Chains A and B, each alone.
Chain A
Amino acid sequence: MNKLGIDPIAQDKIKIEVADNGPDMVIRFIGDIDMEDPSIILDPVFEKVHSGMVSKKIPEIVADFKGLNFLNSSGIKAVAKWIMKLAMLPADQKYRIKIAHNKAITWQVTSLPTLTFLVPGAVKIE
């Protein structure tokens, strides 16, 4: 079990794993997010991740999309919603999100960098 106590999820065509990453965390997405309403799966996970990162004062989480074949715009909305939570935090509670992407997957190259513009300084891409 990881520091945040979040169980892995395998539902529809998507697997989500949250794991410790040294002093930080990593959340991995594997499969496809192309269901009609991905917020049913994604919003509760992001809420748990967000509250855990803040309460445990963990400085950084890697959002690893390398194993994600497709993400529809409703899924992008859920990721954006998570990132926008960072804008509401006071400075001493903020954590960083580092996006890991796969350069061989076209949508990842075009979609994921745009997320860094949502909350300036909060999200980096690698």
Chain B
Amino acid sequence: MAKPDGYIEIRFGPRWKYISPARIFIQNFIAIAISDQAKADAIAMAASELLENAVKYGASEDTHCIVQAFPETGLITASVTNQATEQGAKEVSGLFKKIMAGDPLEAYIMQMREAATRSDGKSQLGLARIRYETGANLKLEVSPENRVTITIEVR
């Protein structure tokens, strides 16, 4: 992959109050990097959803986000990494597999219907929303130490 023309790296302890400013910062960064407000909005939403998951389900005080812009091709990547428990890493792997199967809209509607009937406080909608609304390519990596990284690539 070519070198990015711009990138930002954000690292913060898992505190909910930092997500909103991170989202706005990412949104402004992308809008400046590629002059495409709609894409900036979509990726900021996606990064915000990933950060919410990382903070909600993270097992340690370290959430790490890198956003890279490649203006020549219009490619934007955003990666969010956090430490999960073994059980948490298994859950996210299972959810990822389920959401990546089939049509993005159908997967999103199915997750919305399921979310509406959940009583455990989870929505499990974020990944399906990202996949459908951004058209992004999503990748999941889980290290042997259960560090979970989700990357989105949007052109």
Which residues of A approach B to under 8 Å, CB–CB? 32, 34-37, 39, 70, 72-74, 76-77, 80-81, 83-84, 105-107, 110-111, 114-115, 117-118
Q: Is B95 an interface residue (CB 8 A)?
A: no
Q: Total interface residues on B, using CB and 8 Å?
A: 29
Q: Which of B98-155 contact A (CB under 8 A)?
A: 105, 108-109, 112-113, 115-118, 121, 123, 125-126, 129, 132-133
Interface residues of chain A: helix, strand, loop or mixed (majority): helix
Q: How far is the CA of A115 from the CA of B49 in the complex (A)?
A: 18
A36 is contacted by which of B41, B56, B109 (Cβ under 8 Å)?
Answer: B56
Seen from chain B, the residues whose Cβ lies within 8 Å of a Cβ on chain A are: 16, 19-20, 23, 37-38, 41-42, 45, 48-49, 52, 56, 105, 108-109, 112-113, 115-118, 121, 123, 125-126, 129, 132-133
Chain B hits for A35, CB < 8 A: 16
Given the contacts A73-B129, A118-B112, A106 and B121 also touching, CB distance less than 8 Å: no
Whole-angstrom distance between the alpha carbons of A70 and B125 in the complex?
A: 15
Chain B residues with CB under 8 Å of A39's CB are 121
Bound CA–CA A77/B125 (angstroms): 8
Jot down 24 A-B pairs with beta carbons below 8 A, ordered by A: A34-B19, A34-B23, A35-B16, A39-B121, A70-B20, A70-B45, A72-B48, A72-B49, A73-B49, A73-B123, A73-B125, A74-B52, A76-B115, A76-B129, A80-B113, A105-B41, A106-B37, A106-B38, A106-B41, A107-B45, A111-B129, A114-B132, A115-B112, A117-B105
